[in-house]
Amino acid sequence: MLRTSMRTMATAARKSLTIGLIPADGIGKEVIPAARTAIEALGSDIPTPKFVDLIAGFETFTRTGVALPEETVEVLKNDCDCALFGSVSSPSKKVVGYSSPIVALRKILDLYANIRPVVSVSPNPNEPSKVDMIVVRENTECLYVKQEQLTVGEHGKEARATRLITERASTRIGKMAFELALARPRKHLTVIHKSNVLSVTDGLFRESIRAIPLQDTRFEAVTVAEQLVDSAVYRLFREPQIYDVMVAPNLYGDILSDAAAALVGSLGVVPSVNAGDEFVMGEPVHGSAPDIFGQGIANPVASIRSAALMLRHLGYIEAAKRIDNAVDSVLREGQLLTPDLGGTAKTREVTEAIAKRI
């Protein structure tokens, strides 16, 4: 949940909503247009959307030598109210001069929270979802500070990485998680860590979040539990219903939310937003999927739901509900599903079906 100032700014009378579109690599180029279509279908429920096409990604790097052009950053900072990011094809091996643009944007725009709802769609709309959780991932620290070094020791090469956990970052991601938990019926928050081994770094993360209810008595209504990250993965598959809101350092949150996607059928249906106090950027959880890029079969659901999440965080609740209800309707019918969900439908067909129901 974003600060009141951002919501007030968003819901105040305005004539237009400027949205930066960064498809980036691979199927991002196919699913971000789908999200745009869904937003355009909302009509007068939101201010008139104005879209700004921006570039970033590994393909941009190979073409220009820069993964995140300064122009893209400046337009986002100065001209856009929010943004949607597609997917990035970061290489698994070190490429001199390259750094992930999405990781950079999270830091530059101070989008410190990656919020990833994982929700199954019940066959009966009157029945509760079997899986209904939110993974809240700290977005700026942990091993993602990317401070690594390779040296040669007595026994050969030695690689080291710096892991950064600060009280400030842990506290503010914790507050975001508490706000989300407080707004949900179960009001339950699970703190994910490995402080039995990483007693200093994970210990600080755990202690910082545990201290939050002492500073804000509103959060005393939230039940707080803890789970070691390895046990959390095990229980995620054995009994996912025990989780409501989970909060985790950057790496654990990334792994847990990707794993949780298996519970709802595919990474292609799991959305997220990168949220800060002044800006929000939707981003589907899936990657660039080079194996299916260009075939027109990428699942657009995650990007469309990410657009809904973005609008919800801006305060456009009813518009977001319209999108989510339309997606639920298409998935529930099961007639138009992309191959990742066992169907044969094309990206375009699913997008059009959702847009018609919006």
User: pLDDT tens for residues 262-294?
Assistant: 899 888 999 999 999 999 999 999 999 999 999
Confidence at residue 318, expressed as pLDDT on a 0 to 100 scale: 96
- CA–CA distance, 311 with 41 (Å, rounded to integer): 13
Choose, from 112, 144, 243, 316, the residue flagged as catalytic: 144
pLDDT digits (tens, 9 = 90+) for 89-136: 878 788 888 989 999 999 999 999 999 999 999 888 878 888 999 999
The model's pTM is: 0.90
**pLDDT(4) > 50:** no
- CA–CA distance, 292 with 279 (Å, rounded to integer): 32
25 is known as an active-site residue: no
Could you give the angle at the alpha carbon of 276 between the alpha carbons of 274 and 281, nearest 5°?
A: 35
Confidence at residue 91, expressed as pLDDT on a 0 to 100 scale: 81
258 is known as an active-site residue: yes
112 is known as an active-site residue: no
What percent of the chain clears pLDDT 70, i.e. is strictly above it? 96
Confidence at residue 127, expressed as pLDDT on a 0 to 100 scale: 81
45 is known as an active-site residue: no
Confidence bin at 13 (pLDDT 50/70/90): low
Could you give the C-alpha distances from 37 to 40, 68, 303, 316, 337, in angstroms and in order? 5, 25, 11, 17, 18
Kindly list the strands in the beta sheet with 188-193, ordered across the sheet, starting from the edge strand earlier in the chain: 48-53, 16-24, 82-87, 280-282, 273-275, 113-119, 132-138, 245-248, 188-193, 223-228
Choose, from 45, 258, 277, 321, the residue flagged as catalytic: 258
Confidence bin at 12 (pLDDT 50/70/90): low
Choose, from 79, 230, 234, 356, the residue flagged as catalytic: 230
- Residue 257, token pair as written in the block: 């939310």
230 is known as an active-site residue: yes
Choose, from 29, 175, 194, 346, the residue flagged as catalytic: 194
Choose, from 25, 81, 202, 254, the residue flagged as catalytic: 254
